[in-house]
Amino acid sequence: MRTETNNKNWNAVKTNDSWAIFKIMGEFVNGYEKMSKIGPCVSIFGSARTKPDHKYYKLAENIAKKITEHGYGVITGGGPGIMEAGNKGAHLAGGTSVGLNITLPFEQHDNPYIDGDKSIDFDYFFVRKVMFVKYSQGFVVMPGGMGTLDEFFEAFTLIQTHKIDKFPIILVSTDFWSGLIEWIKKTVLEENNNVSPGDLDLIHLVDTEDEVLAILDDFYNKFDHSPNF
């Protein structure tokens, strides 16, 4: 009897999985249609918990202003904290301000600085990450938590393995990121040889908005703006 019940439950799960494909497809189609119209943009990642009076919030806002004034739009995860700072800087500079929102039981809510026609909602993290990677001309990674680390290493891995075209990955704040970079160099590279020395050339470590802009401009003086795959 229990085996029969388990089989019924398993078959129900398989049926639900099949129908979920259409919802996933819908998120991809909606995302592709909207994101294909935004033009060259840079993604800004960082903690949702960073308050408006924090130095990293203000720095993210200034970075967004600076890169927007030089012709790039800004993409964020659409929520509070560093995401809000990025959208706010783009908004105040009169540039493109995109928010890729995710449904979460905590922390996540739309910030008020996203362009009305460029706020896109997602249920699936993996669909949302595809949009970041495909349509970003660079990743600016501010201090953050697990989500920020996930986004950083996702882009790093995809570029390292040549699954997407190379674009700048810029870590902002040597105080925050230098320990991680040192660990990659000393433990991952030297002790275990799990990455190649050249892989670290994909990462830039900076402290100011001028350094961020210089890296972006230097890269795109050599390469065209285009989707990454």
Measured between alpha carbons, how far apart are the two ends of the chain, in Å?
Answer: 51
3-class DSSP assignment, residue 45: strand
Judged against a pLDDT cut of 60, whether residue 77 lies above it is answered with yes
Q: In what order do the strands lie in the sheet with 203-206?
A: 119-122, 97-102, 73-76, 41-45, 136-141, 169-172, 203-206
pLDDT-above-90 percentage for the chain: 75
Structure confidence by residue, pLDDT tens digits, 129-179: 999 999 999 999 999 999 999 999 999 999 999 999 999 999 999 999 999
Domains and CATH numbers, the chain: 2-220 (3.40.50.450)
